[in-house]
Amino acid sequence: MPELTEAEVRALAMQLVEDVPPDQVDQFEFRGAQFDRGLAMVQFPEGLGGLGLSSRRLQTAVDSELRSAGVTYNDLLINPIGIGMGGPVVLTYATDEQKQRLLRPMFTGEEIWCQMFSEPGSGSDVAGLSTRAERDGDEWIVNGQKVWTTLAHVSRWGMLVARTNPDQPKHKGLTYFLLDMESPGVEVRPLHQITGEAEFNEVFLSDVRIPHDNVFGDVGGGWGAAVTTLMNERVALGGGVPKKGSGPIQDLVNIWTETRDSLDPVTAAVLRDRVADLWVQAEALRLTNWRAREASRGGNPGPEGSVTKLMSAEMNQHIYETCMDVIGAGGMLYEAGYERKRPDGLRGPDSHIRYAFLRARANTIEGGTSEVMRNILGERVLGLPGDVRVDKELPWSEVPRN
């Protein structure tokens, strides 16, 4: 298909709403129709949820048209890891048959995905991971443990990185697998966060069999596919290009507007400065995200995603800390019944401020810590000397570890 104009893409979105009225069908039907018409991820090929456009820029036009028509589905809540990271990985590494099989239910939310990289001994240094996969004919047998696996308890598919050759240096002996989470030997146990919710889990893998066809990329080439996943994760976590003044900053402005008249003049003056400063930062982040989206065009993003991931994580924490300061002592009142829940998905912007304040503590850890983001930016964007890596060339099996 030749490149479409913004007006043509908007017209397609309006036609979708007219033909499949969102208030008369459920999520799966509406999003299925959106996928079939190429309006799920416009930069994806035709037949695979996209229109084959050279840039994802016009997805913003589709999303805004759907929002105006009252469609409120949010990819980040429906299937954050599938849509944010799994989609680009499938497009880059899967066979045509797998793309046909996997992308549609991923987008509709019928099949949730999780990311199985981190282990008890390998988080920032994920290339040092220990989960082993050994070849057995047309299958691989996997043994090991993953941790912090978001939404593993509701997932159908896991993006799993395992060590297939311990005698190679750590980055070279890894292979990337698509794991059916319903396979025998997969055990998922909840881990509760500071919010009381168990969004994430420990996953134990005991003699789990994965067909060789579910290797993404080359055997031993798992690091490349892992980096593709992580770069997309950082763009997803960086916040996208929301409406001006929306998201966390809107929470702060709302709280501020409700509370400012009850504050003493000195406190109000100090807090007003902080609110204004954060509003400017939020707008700078939104515009930076816009530039990062343009820079990555239709392909996989580069290290620019680390800029917005770092900025948004730290800014979110400052925003919700400021919310707590505006609310004052009442900020300590958590919602009644601090339940240890196991949610079906991630919580949306309707969550209360105290929850958001606690949840934001994880922002500077998940998807790579702020220290690691600064290392990436220093090395890969600014060209500064690299971090010290004494184990980089050693066979993984010879690296001392606990």
Tell which residue, 276, 247, 246, 244, has the closest CA to residue 260: 276
Q: Which is nearer to ligand FAD, 107 or 200 (by Cβ)?
A: 200
Q: Which is nearer to ligand FAD, 9 or 106 (by Cβ)?
A: 106
Q: Which is nearer to ligand FAD, 13 or 159 (by Cβ)?
A: 159
**Dist CA 390 CA 367 (whole Å):** 24
Q: Which is nearer to ligand FAD, 250 or 370 (by Cβ)?
A: 370
**Dist CA 395 CA 288 (whole Å):** 40
Which residues are near ligand FAD by CB under 6 A? Answer: 114-118, 123-124, 148-150, 200, 362, 365-366, 368-369, 371-372, 375, 387
Tell which residue, 263, 173, 187, 152, has the closest CA to residue 218: 173
Q: Which is nearer to ligand FAD, 149 or 316 (by Cβ)?
A: 149
Q: Nearest approach, Cβ of 173 to ligand FAD (angstroms)? A: 18
Q: Which is nearer to ligand FAD, 38 or 82 (by Cβ)?
A: 82
One of 65, 197, 233, 304 is an active-site residue; which one? Answer: 233
Q: Which is nearer to ligand FAD, 56 or 153 (by Cβ)?
A: 153
Q: Nearest approach, Cβ of 303 to ligand FAD (angstroms)? A: 16
Q: Tell me the two tokens of residue 137.
A: 């004919």
Say if residue 97 is exposed, middle or buried (CB neighbours under 10 Å; 0-12, 13-18, 19+): exposed
Q: Nearest approach, Cβ of 62 to ligand FAD (angstroms)? A: 27
For 213-251, b/e burial (b = at least 16 CB within 10 A) is ebbbbebebbbbbbebbbbbbbbbbbbbbbeeeebbbbb
Q: Nearest approach, Cβ of 210 to ligand FAD (angstroms)? A: 17
Catalytic-residue membership of 233: yes
Q: Nearest approach, Cβ of 196 to ligand FAD (angstroms)? A: 14
**Dist CA 229 CA 305 (whole Å):** 12
* CA distances for 214 relative to 93, 221, 378, angstroms: 10, 14, 35
Q: Nearest approach, Cβ of 215 to ligand FAD (angstroms)? A: 19
Residue nearest to ligand FAD (CB): 123
Q: Nearest approach, Cβ of 387 to ligand FAD (angstroms)? A: 5
Q: Annotated catalytic sites, by residue?
A: 233
